[in-house]
Amino acid sequence: MEVAAIVPAYNEEKTIGDVISALQQTPDVDRIIVVSDGSEDGTVKSALNYDNVEVIDLLDNRGKGGAIKAGLDRCNSEIILILDADLIGLSVKHVEALLKPVREKEALMSVGIFEKGRMATDFAQRMAPFLSGQRALRRELLENISDLDLSRFGIEMALHKYVEDNEIEAAVVQLPDLSHVMKEEKLGFWKGVSARAKMYWEIFKYVTRIDTNPK
């Protein structure tokens, strides 16, 4: 089964290259699709420095769900790997570990959890593992998410709710020595806190909407 890695990115010129490099070294990854979600920095330029990387440059910010939908529309791959663009320490072993349960049909989705990376990011994922942005999953799971392109940061919660409601087994994969750049580090403390609050609000709004408008 073909594997496409979709990497949604918003102003991640400093870290996107390391993520792409790890994906390029992973034999099981057939396609790499970077979706710049209205970035205003050099994210697109950085991604284009790498061979065999498809770059989608969205002019407007659509949120994570919209960026993933744009990547999904670009390919027909049966397995989709989703990785954040701000990861620190991503390796081939991490990518292979995420893909293994889905490729070997042990689960329809795997969720990666940081372990022994940095205290702040490890703690955040222990508190809310279902919000992890590192996942491998069968394409049909994403296609079954209602209004994927409108979910913005609610995409992870929407996936969690879908597999829970449909009693679908999801594999939890530990990702040792991996972390990401926190919003407070990227933007400064107060702007980072504001961006984090906005993210949680978008999650809340989307989940509330799908709870009140079931299929």
DSSP 151-165: -GGGHHHHHHHHHHH
Provide, rounded to the nearest whole percent, the portion of the chain with pLDDT above 90.
58
- What is the token pair recorded at 83? 């990785």
pLDDT of residue 37: 95
- Residue 187 near residue 126, CB atoms below 8 Å: no
- What is the token pair recorded at 127? 């508190």
What is the chain's mean pLDDT, rounded?
A: 83
Closest CA to 72 of 175, 180, 176, 151: 151
Residue 59 burial class via C-beta count within 10 angstroms: exposed 0-12, middle 13-18, buried 19 and up: exposed
Say how far apart CA 71 and CA 54 lie, in whole Å: 9
Residue 186 lies in a domain: no
- Residue 79 near residue 1, CB atoms below 8 Å: yes
The helix/strand count (H/E) of the chain reads as 9, 9
Say how far apart CA 161 and CA 164 lie, in whole Å: 5
pLDDT digits (tens, 9 = 90+) for 163-174: 888 999 899 999
Question: Other C-beta atoms within 10 Å of 43: how many?
Answer: 26
Residue 193 lies in a domain: no
pLDDT of residue 121: 47
- What is the token pair recorded at 5? 């890695």
Residue 71 lies in a domain: yes
Residue 130 lies in a domain: yes
pLDDT of residue 97: 97
- Specify the higher pLDDT residue, 50 or 155: 50
pLDDT digits (tens, 9 = 90+) for 118-163: 444 444 555 455 568 899 999 999 998 877 765 555 788 788 888 8
Residue 212 lies in a domain: no
| pLDDT band, residue 197 (cuts 50/70/90) | low
pLDDT of residue 164: 86
pLDDT of residue 126: 54
Work out whether strand 179-180 and strand 87-88 pair parallel, antiparallel, or are unpaired: antiparallel
User: Residue 7 above 90 pLDDT?
Assistant: yes
Q: How far is CA 112 from CA 51, 81, 107, 173, 178, in A?
A: 27, 11, 13, 5, 10
17-26, 33-42, 77-86, 124-133: lowest mean pLDDT where? 124-133
Residue 143 lies in a domain: yes
The sign of the torsion formed by the CA atoms of 100, 71, 140, 87 equals positive
pLDDT of residue 192: 52
- Specify the higher pLDDT residue, 185 or 110: 110
Residue 124 lies in a domain: yes
Residue 208 lies in a domain: no
| pLDDT band, residue 195 (cuts 50/70/90) | low
CATH number at residue 18: 3.90.550.10
The domain in which residue 49 lies consists of 3-180
SS3 112: strand
| pLDDT band, residue 116 (cuts 50/70/90) | low
The number of distinct structural domains making up the chain is 1
Mean pLDDT of 39-68: 95
| pLDDT band, residue 4 (cuts 50/70/90) | very high
